[in-house]
Amino acid sequence: MCGIAGSWHPGARAPADALLGLGRRMGEAIAHRGPDDSGAWADAEAGVVLSHRRLSILDLSPEGHQPMISADGRWVIAFNGEIYNHAAMRADLAALGHAFRGRSDTEVLLAAIARWGVPAALERGNGMLALAAWDRQARTLWLARDRLGKKPLYYGTTADGSFVFGSELAALRAHPALRAEVDPDALALLLRLGYIPAPACILRGVAKLPPGSWLKLDASSMSGGVVLAEPVRWWSALERQRAAIRAGFRGGDDEALAELDALLRDATLLRMEADVPLGAFLSGGTDSSLVTALMQAQSSRPVRSFSIGFDAAGHDESAQAAEVARHLGTDHTELHVDGKAALELVPDLPRLFDEPFADSSQLPTALLCRLARRHVTVALSGDGGDELFFGYTRYARALRADALLARLPRRLLARLEGERS
């Protein structure tokens, strides 16, 4: 992962050295996200600074350095993520006459923004991202997140009226004028839901940009330290689901399985492109086993797979993971830990996860990441499989509740819907 951060104080002309110093401090606060390179860029006249920490995955050369400036000098971006279809987008842009310096997907995204604008570039891209783009001509700042919000992005205002943003709250806290106070409403959400949903944030005056959204700011978007602009949703999972249900699927079970298999293979292959060592998290469950199997089926060498085992039998799936690894022929690494190792990790959790959330899986996930990082730079996992394929029992309960709701008289349903809206 990489990390981005920055600040904008409209109307305040700070010396370039001061702005660059601020950008470097904000970037240094999230240095763990990008150990391979760092950069800061400032527009002193506008009061803007962008900062970036790089974990090199595609194009390890200096051509991938960020913040990156467009060929025409108008756009500057700091980007965290990966554009999986960058090769296809590169070909489209090359056909329009664009010449590229390097092989990074950052340069492709920047060229797409310069050619088509931020919203259209987001629509054309297939990937995960958190993005900050400064338009030097229009003097506007754009923030954006990918469709499902895989990459985090926080933003807020400080006591001196600056707008700040970053991949982690640590970057925002590095700004000297940020008041890092707990928001009691966000705390209530945490106690009620077990996590803090976007746009809420544990810190007062700070928000999370929602998934599939962009935020466009100009000097008129901020007044008295308040952000007047609202995020714009450019993609909605719910809308796509409803559209798919309305359209239906034309074909039988065999055709549906074939199409699903093709989609999963393509999605996995796109994520396997890397100029650094690649591996897989393998728990032995359905989702991670499927991803690892799809990786191995499309790899010319044994895939590096990793799993964590626990002394407590009720929490240990390492035997299943090892069996899957043997069946697939992966190069498997397994680490067994006890409860003491998990407890020793607890003090590090606030630094690792930024915001509190009530899911005990954060402990084995953190241990697994530490294990994998000794051997690989990128690892694929089965996270999200339960959400995609109704793996949790709550989905079955929701379907049963929906079926019961459908038995109610239509007039009563309409009345209930009216009261809810």
Report CA dihedral (284, 290, 295, 301) to the nearest 10 degrees: 50
DSSP per position, 317-376: -HHHHHHHHHHHT-EEEEEEE-HHHHHHHGGGHHHHHSS----TTHHHHHHHHHHHHTT-
Q: Are 200 and 186 in contact (CB under 8 A)?
A: yes
Residue type, 282: L
* Rounded Cα distance, 14 and 4, in Å: 21
Residue type, 105: D
Q: Are 150 and 12 in contact (CB under 8 A)?
A: no
* Rounded Cα distance, 295 and 311, in Å: 29
User: 129-132 long-range contacts, Cβ below 8 Å, gap at least 24?
Assistant: 129/79, 129/80, 129/81, 129/82, 129/83, 130/4, 130/79, 130/80, 130/81, 130/167, 130/209, 131/4, 131/77, 131/78, 131/79, 131/80, 131/81, 132/4, 132/6, 132/50, 132/77, 132/78, 132/79, 132/165
User: What phi, psi does 79 have (nearest 5°)?
Assistant: -135, 130
Token match 């393998």: residue? 282
Token match 């467009």: residue? 70
Helix (H) or strand (E) segment spanning residue 306: strand 304-310
* Rounded Cα distance, 196 and 190, in Å: 5
Q: Are 191 and 171 in contact (CB under 8 A)?
A: no
Q: Are 111 and 91 in contact (CB under 8 A)?
A: no
* Rounded Cα distance, 417 and 330, in Å: 52
Strands 278-281 and 304-310: parallel
Active site residues: 2
Sign, Cα dihedral of 363, 36, 148, 163? positive
